[in-house]
Structure 1
Amino acid sequence: MNEHVPPSTEDAALRAEDAAKGAVAPGARKRPRPGERREQILQTLAAMLEQPGAERITTAALAARLGVSEAALYRHFASKAQMFEGLIDFIEQAVFTRVAQITGREPSDAAVPEECTRQAMRVVALLLQFGEHNPGLARVMVGDALVLEHERLQQRMIQFFDRIESSLRQCLRPAAGAAGSATPSVDAQVAASVLTAFIQGRLQRFARSGFRRLPTEHLEASLALML
């Protein structure tokens, strides 16, 4: 995808792909390659979501931005809800691929508390940096862009953050146990819940401020207070 939707490599999970790469001269190709128009629709939808104070996006407005008919959109997506599901699919793939890389490293016994805490901090930073570099997708993540859309879209994002909380809990439980907690599972659950709420709150503030209040603002100091 283009600058609004990053690929799933480590750097690109935070930064967007250059849309100019691989471009061809006008007229060199009369019709898009298979899947290219679908990608273009999702890129354009993400770009429209980046406009501060943007109203609910209609298929008519999306088609006008692309310079095609609404019927052309429906050749690639059965509904607008499917378009948003395409964005959510991308968010899930980009984020959870990187989360698995972060949490898949097994710390040595001596380094359990510190390394597990660092893993949790990296997961939090990943989410906030991803949203910061992709403002349109941040609006999807916190549900602002999904108001008045199909309820299943909101449920997908609820499940997304449930998975994030579960990943954080798995990171933090060994640290709680190594620190001598009598209830490591409970302590890890509480900490994971607080961190997940922090992520959601920072992304929500970013979207509601017209993308002026960055999610990563004072991030290290904030995490130091919580972990």
Structure 2
Amino acid sequence: MASTKPGQRKLQILQALAAMLEQPKGEKITTAALAARLGVSEAALYRHFASKAQMFEGLIEFIESSVFGLINQISEREANGVEQARAIMQMLLAFAANNPGMTRVLIGDALVNEDERLQLRMNQFYDKVELACKQSLRVAVTQGHGNEADVTARASLLVSYVVGRWHRYAKSGFRQNPTEGTSLQLALMLAA
């Protein structure tokens, strides 16, 4: 790791942390274990991150930039509000399937016993996802699908569904793919 650039080292640390989070048993991750995995001292970790909380913040930033970048692409590409909402939900489920370690951050599992601001930040993430879903559903209402009175409840239901699928995926040791069987389920939740 000595010959890499500082930005690359930070990325390596975050990648190692995410890989450790992929362990199905979900044991608490220590900086000593992370340093050992990378073959460096704990002090080397702290040259790039002031705390373990900052390392988790780096993972959360990755999640936020990835997810909200994809939501923006879906919103720009898909004019139909119902299809926007469906695509956003499917993307969220696929993101978890493709990033099992990040799923433990998404559900807050990895944040237990860490700085409480991390869970607050994930709660804000859920709120923003729900807001994006509401926007898609409001577009759908203007297109004659559903009614405005149901938008908030439907958006909340959809986000709760996704979070439940994430939990089930993580608790199954990443064996139960969160995307399996979702087409019909989403169709039922999005039906007018």
Shorter-chain TM range is over 0.9
CA-CA distance at 1:177 after TM superposition: 4.1
CA-CA distance at 1:81 after TM superposition: 0.2
1:194 aligns with 2:164: no
1:120 aligns with 2:85: yes
Q: Which residue of 2 aligns with 1:165?
A: 130
Identity, % of aligned positions? 56
CA-CA distance at 1:82 after TM superposition: 0.1
- Kept in 1: contact 2:28–2:110 (CA 8 A): yes
CA-CA distance at 1:105 after TM superposition: 4.2
Q: CA separation in 1, counterparts of 2:145 and 2:60?
A: 39
Three-state SS of the structure 2 residue aligned to 1:207 is helix
Q: Relative contact order: is structure 1 or structure 2 higher (C-alpha 8 Å, sep ≥ 6)?
A: 2
Structure 2: gaps (5+ residues): none
More helix by share: 2
Q: Which residue of 1 aligns with 2:188?
A: 225
Q: Which residue of 2 aligns with 1:207?
A: 170
Quickly say closer, same or farther: Cα 1:106–1:48, change in 2 above 3 A. closer
Quickly say closer, same or farther: Cα 1:119–1:106, change in 2 above 3 A. closer
Tell me which stretches of 4 or more aligned residues in structure 1 moved more than 6 Å. Answer: none
Larger-gyration structure (1/2): 1
> Which of 66, 70, 75 in structure 1 is aligned with 2:47?
75
CA-CA distance at 1:104 after TM superposition: 2.5
Three-state SS of the structure 2 residue aligned to 1:128 is helix
1:55 aligns with 2:20: no
Q: Deviations over 1:70-99 (max 9, x none)?
A: 111000000000000000000000110110
Quickly say closer, same or farther: Cα 1:66–1:97, change in 2 above 3 A. same
Q: CA separation in 2, counterparts of 1:215 and 1:161?
A: 17
Q: CA separation in 1, counterparts of 2:64 and 2:2?
A: 33
CA-CA distance at 1:217 after TM superposition: 1.3
- TM normalised by structure 1 equals 0.80
Q: CA separation in 2, counterparts of 1:75 and 1:180?
A: 53
Q: Which residue of 2 aligns with 1:154?
A: 119
1:44 aligns with 2:16: yes
- TM normalised by structure 2 equals 0.94
Q: CA separation in 1, counterparts of 2:78 and 2:167?
A: 32
- Kept in 1: contact 2:106–2:122 (CA 8 A): yes
**RMSD (CA atoms):** 1.5
The count of residues paired between Structure 1 and Structure 2 equals: 190
Quickly say closer, same or farther: Cα 1:46–1:106, change in 2 above 3 A. closer
- Kept in 1: contact 2:96–2:178 (CA 8 A): yes
Structure 1: gaps (5+ residues): 1-28, 108-114
Q: CA separation in 2, counterparts of 1:214 and 1:56?
A: 23
Amino acid at match of 1:102: I
